Amino acid sequence: MSEGIIQPDQPETIEGEGSDLFSKFDDVIALREGLLASGQEDPFNLVMEKVLSPTRAICNGRDTILLGTYNYMGMTFDPDVVEAGKQALADFGSGTTGSRVLNGTYQGHKEVEQALMDFYGMDHAMVFSTGYQANLGIISTIAGKGDYVILDIDSHASIWDGCAMGNAEVVPFKHNDIEAMEKRLRRIPEGAGKLVVLEGVYSMLGDVAPLKEMVAIAKKYGAMVLVDEAHSMGFIGENGRGVVETAGVMDDVDFIIGTFSKSVGTVGGFCVSNHPKFEIMRLVCRPYVFTASLPPSVVATAETSIRKLMHGSNKRAHLWENSRNLHKGLKDLGFTLGTDEPQSAIIAVIMPDLEKGAAMWEALIKGGLYVNLARPPATPANMTLLRCSLCAEHSEEEVGEILSIFEQAGKEVGII
Amino acid sequence: MDRAQVDAKIRELAAPFNKKGVTITEETTFANDLEFDSLTVMDFVAEIEDEFDIIISMNQQAEIENYGQLVDAVTKLQAN
C-alpha–C-alpha distance, residues A133 and A165, integer Å: 12
Q: pLDDT tens, B10-33?
A: 999 999 999 889 999 999 999 899
Q: Which residues of A are catalytic?
A: 203, 231, 262
Contact yes or no for A187 and B37 at CB 8 A: no
Length of chain B as a residue count: 80
Nearest to A345 by CA among A318, A323, A321: A323
Q: State residue A3's pLDDT score.
A: 52
Q: Are strands A56-59 and A62-66 parallel, antiparallel or unpaired?
A: antiparallel
Whether A48 has its CB under 8 Å from any CB of chain B: the answer is no
Contact yes or no for A183 and B50 at CB 8 A: yes
CA-nearest residue to B78 within chain A is A187
Listed by start position, the domains of chain B span 3-79
Whether A35 has its CB under 8 Å from any CB of chain B: the answer is no
Burial pattern A59-83, b for ≥16 Cβ within 10 A else e, equals beeeebbbbbbbbbbbbbebeebbe
Whether A220 has its CB under 8 Å from any CB of chain B: the answer is no
Contact yes or no for B54 and A187 at CB 8 A: yes
Q: CA of A31 to nearest chain B CA: how many angstroms apart?
A: 18
**A173 vs B contacts (CB less than 8 Å):** 46
**A150 vs B contacts (CB less than 8 Å):** none
Considering only CB atoms, A171 lies closest to which of B38, B53, B57, namely B57
Contact yes or no for A170 and B58 at CB 8 A: yes
Q: State residue B37's pLDDT score.
A: 86
Q: State residue A1's pLDDT score.
A: 44
Task: Write down the CATH superfamily of domain A38-73+313-413.
Answer: Aspartate Aminotransferase, domain 1 (3.90.1150.10)
Cα dihedral sign, A377-A381-A385-A391? negative
Q: State residue B80's pLDDT score.
A: 78
Listed by start position, the domains of chain A span 38-73+313-413, 79-309
pLDDT means over runs of 10, chain A (416 residues): 57 68 92 83 88 96 96 98 98 98 97 98 98 98 97 95 96 96 96 97 96 98 98 96 98 98 98 98 97 98 98 96 98 97 98 93 96 86 93 98 98 95
- Integer distance in angstroms from the first to the last C-alpha of chain A? 66
C-alpha–C-alpha distance, residues B72 and A31, integer Å: 37
Per-residue DSSP letter, B61: H
The interface predicted TM-score of the complex, written ipTM, equals 0.92
Q: What is the CATH number of domain A79-309?
A: 3.40.640.10
Q: State residue A10's pLDDT score.
A: 65
Task: Write down the CATH superfamily of domain B3-79.
Answer: ACP-like (1.10.1200.10)
**A148 vs B contacts (CB less than 8 Å):** 57
Q: State residue A380's pLDDT score.
A: 82
Contact yes or no for A171 and B58 at CB 8 A: yes
Element (DSSP H or E) covering residue A386: strand A384-389
